Amino acid sequence: MSEKKTLVITGATKGIGKAIAERFAKEGVNVAFTYNSNEEVANELANEWSNKYGIKAKAYKLNILEPEQFKPLFEQIDEDFERVDYFVSNAMIYGRAVVGGYGKFMRLKPRGLNNIYTATVDAFVLGSQEAAKRMQKVGGGAIVTMSSTGNMIYIENYAGHGTNKAAVEAMMRYAAVELGEMNIRVNAVSGGPIETDALRAFTNYEEVKAETIKRSALNRMGTPQDIAGAVWFLCSDDASWITGHTLVVDGGTTFR
């Protein structure tokens, strides 16, 4: 029996990250995933996925505001898993850490903006570097960073996040060119508003939800599973000649 492939994903205890991790587990892929604070929930999910899908799943603590943690994180993963084939940079920050980064343009402050950059761009770079070293050893792999349509269209209070999502997409394209020689593909999934705790944390959540449904050609909000399917596709052999690309998954909300 051939060795199972392994996904490393940041922030997989809820929302989009949880849906992505479970989709890969369902496809028979081992899952190494991170959590920030809720160890109990993370371990419960690891046990659930292991038992339900017959794969190996394990949770690791990571604070993406300290990207230097990626090196020891991957060293821990090396002890528990034989290989790394996929890396998904998914974890995000909200709440107190984004004060000064989430709000109107005239209220933006360096600390909040810098935190968002650290959690978005730095985390993608440092995580992808460590993942790529391991993918090279097994003949290649696939990396996906999460983005947002808030870098293409105006979303109230989203300037800090939107500009950093634009930055991570640019970084993704650079990575795609340079990692291609290792047979590593690098892409982004840019989601429209998705029904998650992070979106519900928006002060104008109900307004965003109503406007999303109104704008969507499909007349509904996006779900974490909608994003998970796109990430799985970009990592699968069906996308073997797709790299440096941003796949927009938005229910048609950005062209209406």
Domain ranges of the chain: 6-92+120-192+224-248
One-letter amino acid at 176 equals: A
Provide the strand spans (E) within 16-107.
Answer: 30-35, 57-61, 86-89
Asked if 165 is an active-site residue, the reply is yes
Residues 6+ apart with CB under 8 A from 48: none
Centre a 10 Å sphere on the Cβ of residue 7 and count the other Cβ atoms it contains.
30
Helix (H/G/I), strand (E/B), else coil: 148: strand
User: In 3D, which of 191, 204, 186, 199 has the Cα closest to residue 144?
Assistant: 186
Give, for all 256 residues of the chain, the pLDDT tens digit. 358 999 999 999 999 999 999 999 999 999 999 999 999 999 999 999 999 999 999 999 999 999 999 999 999 999 999 999 999 999 999 889 999 999 999 999 999 999 999 999 999 999 999 999 999 999 999 999 999 999 999 988 899 999 999 999 999 999 999 999 999 999 999 998 888 877 777 677 888 888 888 989 999 989 999 999 999 999 999 999 999 999 999 999 887 6
End-to-end Cα spacing for the chain: 49
One-letter amino acid at 1 equals: M
The predicted model scores a pTM of 0.95
Residues 6+ apart with CB under 8 A from 124: 89, 145, 168, 171, 172
Instruction: Tell the CATH superfamily of the 6-92+120-192+224-248 domain.
Output: NAD(P)-binding Rossmann-like Domain (3.40.50.720)
Catalytically annotated residue among 60, 61, 165, 205: 165
Catalytically annotated residue among 35, 53, 102, 158: 158
Asked if 154 is an active-site residue, the reply is no
Give the span between the Cα atoms of 14 and 37, in whole angstroms. Answer: 12
Give the span between the Cα atoms of 100 and 116, in whole angstroms. Answer: 10
